[in-house]
Amino acid sequence: MFLIGQYDSPFVRRVAIALRLYGLAFEHRPWSTFGDADKIAPYNPLRRVPTLVLDDGEALIESTIILDYLDELVGEGKAMLPRSGAERRKHLRICALASGLGDKAVSLLYERVLRKEQLALWVERCQAQIGDVLGVLDAERAKVTTPYWLGDRIGHADIAVACVVRFTREAHPLLLDAARYLALAAHADRCEALAPFKEIVQPLAPPKG
């Protein structure tokens, strides 16, 4: 199977890191949604990443769907998300907040680099949403006394948060002050020190307007 998308996307990166942690072999096709849209279209008409193309040609889109498939593939004992109950909902909530934060951080970046005249109301809204989610995630992480949200082993919530924190740090350094979000920064740094995070990384290279 092969994974489409560049690793400066927090969504592509979280999928690639999960694949590596699960020990699943894959090829990487670092196609850009801007420069390589025509290559992506046959697999994903939305021309979005990540897209994971399986050995039989089936194309999975959106990181949440891809990770759900990977969890099913590796089985309940190895899956990085509880299969049911309150714990599952708790970690899905963290993943949803991280994904939403990533969406807003990407939107704000595109607003800056692709529009000659930024829409002030949209910029202010995105900044407020980013700040509020960072505050909630930091408070939630501060309550957790274990190394990771799932306990002693890493889970999808941990990966999603770490990937989005890195992206936001690079894209909007003024919005993510490590001194203000101590628990969140410490969590991200712990994850980034792991081998898969060090291997699967790419400096942010935003599109040019």
Among all chains, which residue has been given the structure tokens 């274990």? Answer: 146
CATH of the domain at 48: 3.40.30.10
Domains of the chain: total: 2
Does residue 53 contact residue 27 with C-beta atoms inside 8 Å? no
Q: Is residue 209 part of a domain?
A: no
Specify the pLDDT at position 136. 97
Tell whether 66 and 148 lie within a shared domain. no
**204 pLDDT exceeds 60?**
yes
Strands 59-61 and 51-53: antiparallel
User: Residue 95 sits in a domain of what CATH number?
Assistant: 1.20.1050.10
Question: What does each C-alpha distance from 43 to 18, 26, 80 come to in angstroms?
Answer: 21, 16, 27
pLDDT at residue 190 tops 60: yes
Q: What is the pLDDT of residue 25?
A: 97
- Say if residues 30 and 46 touch (Cβ distance below 8 Å): no
Of 79, 107, 131, which residue sits at a domain end? 79
Beta bridge partners of 51: 4, 61
What pLDDT shows up at residue 152?
A: 94
For residues 51 and 115, state if they share a domain.
no
pLDDT confidence of residue 65: 96
Residue 199 lies inside a defined structural domain of this protein = no
Residues 29, 108 within the same domain:
no
Q: Do 186 and 90 share a domain, yes or no?
A: yes
Give the lowest-confidence range in 43-47, 62-66, 81-85, 197-201.
81-85
pLDDT of residue 207: 81
Q: Is the pLDDT of residue 47 over 70?
A: yes
Q: Are residues 113 and 53 in the same domain?
A: no
Domain closes at, from 79, 101, 136: 79
Range of the domain at 134: 85-194
Final residue in a domain of this structure, among 64, 79, 94: 79
At 209, the pLDDT band (50, 70, 90 cuts) reads: low
* 103 and 168 fall within a common domain: yes
For residue 102, what pLDDT is reported?
97
Contacts 24+ apart (CB under 8 A), 123-130: 127/175, 129/100, 129/101, 129/104, 130/101, 130/104, 130/105, 130/168, 130/172, 130/175
User: Positive or negative CA dihedral for 135, 138, 141, 145?
Assistant: negative
pLDDT on residue 117 = 84
Same domain, 106 and 188: yes
pLDDT digits (tens, 9 = 90+) for 95-130: 999 999 999 999 999 998 888 888 899 999 999 999
Mean local confidence (pLDDT), 144-171: 95
User: Rounded to an integer, what distance in angstroms lies between the CA atom of residue 185 and that of residue 179?
Assistant: 8
Total-model pTM: 0.96
